[in-house]
Amino acid sequence: MAVRASRTAMQPLIDRIWSSKMTNYIIRRILILPIILFGVTALIFGMLQFLSPAERSALYVRDVPKNEAMMDAVIRRYGLDQPILVQYWNWLMGRIDPVTGNVVGGILRGELGYSRSGSQSVAALLKRRFPATVELALYTIIPIIGIGVTLGIAAAVNHNRWIDQLARVFAILGHSLPSFVLGLLALLFFYAKLQWFPPGRLSDWANNVVLAQTWNTYTSLITVDSLLNGRVDVFLDALRHLILPVMVLSTISWATYLRVTRSSMLETLRQEYVVTARAKGLKERDVINGHARPNALIPVATLSGFTIAGLLGGAVLTETIFDYPGIGQAAGAAAAQLDVIAVLSFTLLSGLILIVANLIVDVMYAFLDPRVRLN
């Protein structure tokens, strides 16, 4: 009986998700994806054309030949002198090596070239660095949304009172303070002076534990794997290293959430259905939580998708300042060493993440606001 009642209660939600209009909306958004992906890859490939054939050879070989004759042989071997459309196809799908007969290159095969700054292939570099960025993003988005949304709602509900004034001051400070300044100040105080939260991802002893053969890697997220391995001490050490970069990234971002939530909530509180709910004698708490807040959070849901995409793309300044081994730090090192192949690969990854996030946000927005999928 309980299961049947639960299904009955969930049926309106299921019908809403799988309505014909919602399905058509999702299909339209998915059909647009190939066109957007083509545009992104064409743009990245167009940037590659500004490089000389010798520089583009890093897509296929580790060491660029110094001898001119050897360089010409590499260019002919990998088709770097072919028409641009042929080169674009080879860059996407790969090319059969006339010497070995094997398929080489091809970003769709995960062959992104060789990174001089990372001294390894770009694919291997991404595989090693991306989990650290994912872990940082997961821990950062919680205070960003939690603090920003909570303060924004509180500021709107207490419009022009001291809470609202204080929240606006915090929002201005958060927007005006650059991340590298806040990061350096945090390092000077919490690490250099107090020795509380060190930079990096792990202490030396914890890193030795993770690299040992007895360590089982399940997700490549240190805080998760440490608990699965029964090492609470490693978990606490990883958490200690995450506190400062999470604090810096969230402080910069929750100011935006505060302003967006506050503006949206103020507009929602002026709507007729909220005024009607109050006129019917509903408690103010029920009016806020049941009627105003769900509709006010629609712009926040949209913003959260792009925030997560930005964090997954790598926070270059924050990761560099705190020596955090993520995508952002690797991208900063590649840019400093003019490792163009790696930089464009990171750009391609960020573009793909943003495209997927945009699709998720569109679907989420249409689910929250039926007017979108009706247009």
pLDDT over threshold 50, residue 116 = yes
Tell me the pLDDT tens digit for each residue of 169-193: 877 777 777 778 888 888 888 888 8
**Residues 195 and 267 grouped into a single domain:** yes
**Residues 211 and 308 grouped into a single domain:** yes
101: left (phi over 0), alpha (psi -120 to 50) or beta: left
Distance CA 198, CA 140 (A): 17
Tell me the pLDDT tens digit for each residue of 306-327: 788 888 877 888 888 888 888 8
**Residues 91 and 132 grouped into a single domain:** no
Number of domains into which the chain is organized: 2
115 beta partners: 120
**Residues 107 and 124 grouped into a single domain:** no
**Residues 259 and 365 grouped into a single domain:** yes
41 found inside a domain? no
**Residues 124 and 69 grouped into a single domain:** no
**Residues 101 and 142 grouped into a single domain:** no
Beta strands of the chain (E only): which ranges?
95-96, 103-104, 114-115, 120-121
Residue 83 is encoded by which pair of tokens? 């028409």
Q: Is 40 exposed, middle or buried (0-12, 13-18, 19+ CB in 10 A)?
A: middle
**Residues 103 and 206 grouped into a single domain:** no
Predicted local confidence at residue 352, as pLDDT: 87
Domain final position from 111, 136, 160? 111
251 found inside a domain? yes
Calculate the average pLDDT of the chain.
80
Predicted local confidence at residue 1, as pLDDT: 46
pLDDT over threshold 90, residue 235 = yes
Tell me the pLDDT tens digit for each residue of 259-289: 888 888 888 777 777 777 777 777 777 777 7
Average pLDDT over residues 81-101: 82
CATH number of the domain bearing residue 188: 1.10.3720.10
Domain final position from 74, 93, 111? 111
Q: Three-class SS of residue 96?
A: strand
Predicted local confidence at residue 15, as pLDDT: 53
**Residues 130 and 250 grouped into a single domain:** yes
More confident: 355 or 14: 355
16 found inside a domain? no
Domain final position from 93, 111, 129? 111
pLDDT over threshold 60, residue 63 = yes
Distance CA 235, CA 241 (A): 10
Predicted local confidence at residue 369, as pLDDT: 62
pLDDT over threshold 80, residue 20 = no
Q: Smallest Cα–Cα separation from 24: which of 256, 319, 363?
A: 363
Average pLDDT over residues 153-170: 81
Distance CA 312, CA 132 (A): 10
Residue 356 is encoded by which pair of tokens? 């997927």
What is the domain range of residue 93? 53-111
Range from 109-123, 152-166, 195-209, 353-367 that averages highest in pLDDT = 195-209
**Residues 253 and 344 grouped into a single domain:** yes
Residue at token pair 């190939």: 34
pLDDT over threshold 70, residue 13 = no
More confident: 240 or 111: 240
Distance CA 333, CA 324 (A): 12
**Residues 183 and 77 grouped into a single domain:** no
**Residues 62 and 139 grouped into a single domain:** no
